A = this chain, B = another copy of it.
Amino acid sequence: MSQMSPPIVRTVAELRARVMAWRAAGELVGLAPTMGALHEGHLSLIRLAKTHAHRAVASLFVNPTQFGPNEDFEAYPRSEARDAELLASVGCDLLYAPSVSEMYPQGFATTVSVRGVSEPLDGAARPGHFAGVATVVTKLLLRCGPDLAVFGEKDYQQLQVIRRLVRDLDIPVEILGAPTARAEDGLALSSRNAYLTADERSAAPELHRALAAAVEQLHAGRSAAAVEADAMDRLKAAGFSRVDYVEVRAVDDLARLGPGPVPGPARILGAAVLGKARLIDNLAV
């Protein structure tokens, strides 16, 4: 009995009116920020929000400030009508889909930046990316005012950057991480998988396989440096044209660990380019 679409609002005033009415009625509100082009991974965020809150709000905003000048902002897939239907199917109560000028009016001049955790890995490969993410997430959280917000572990570094800024700026919201949704062959679901040709799609799960093999080797006591080098070789052999990184890092602040065997809980993260898609993935160690 799902409706075709949740209500869609495009202004802060409408968003706040809805959320404040729910909160005034004693209902908890969860927010799942997305860039649209929704897949099962996004839907799992809404489901998680609904298990912790009475109401789930999704935002849909392809944020230009987190794309580099040579990245895929223009090409990024957009499918709002279909996204709205998918959201309805998992019980999403409201879709907030602002325009770029609603998000960044004339004169906009403020940036939220996070030292440390945002600097290595995707921070090094994509200069300015995490400042764009941190700024827009701050805005989305303060516009919506939810009790909790859900982000996918697929973007693990992003999740840690957001946890840091929420704590540091005292934003009164609880951040939940959702497990990465995967295809049957292990490929992490991503809107950017749509860029892959059939051949590239066959090769793509090698990113997950290489990380999973690395985790096994680390558990067997092999050094991080050797395991990282093996995984990078494996990706190049599978046809990835560029490997930005495969690195074992501390779980919270993503600090570099020593080159030897990993002493405790850690995270292995990889990013590599296949055809027109830059894929990322990560696993717990």
Contacts and interface: CB of A to CB of B under 8 A. Distances in A.
Most buried by B among A109, A116, A145, A172: A109
Interface string A126-169: 00000000110011001101000000000000000000110111
A115 to B, nearest CB: 4
A16 interface: yes
Interface residues of A, number: 30
A111 interface: yes
B168 A142 contact: no
A273 interface: no
B110 A169 contact: yes
Interface string A246-268: 00000001000000000000000
**Interface of A: prevailing SS:** mixed
Identical copies of this chain, number: 2
Contact of A142 (B16, B107, B135, B169): B169
Contacts of A138: 169
A112 B142 contact: no
Contact of A164 (B110, B113, B165, B171): B110
B114 A113 contact: no
A109 B170 contact: no
Contact of A109 (B116, B145, B171): B116
A42 to B, nearest CB: 23
8 A-B pairs with least C-beta separation: A110-B168, A109-B115, A142-B170, A109-B116, A143-B170, A110-B165, A110-B114, A139-B170
Given A12-B170, A109-B116, A110-B164, 14 more contacts: A105-B167, A107-B253, A109-B164, A109-B168, A110-B114, A110-B134, A110-B168, A111-B113, A111-B114, A111-B115, A112-B169, A138-B169, A142-B142, A145-B172
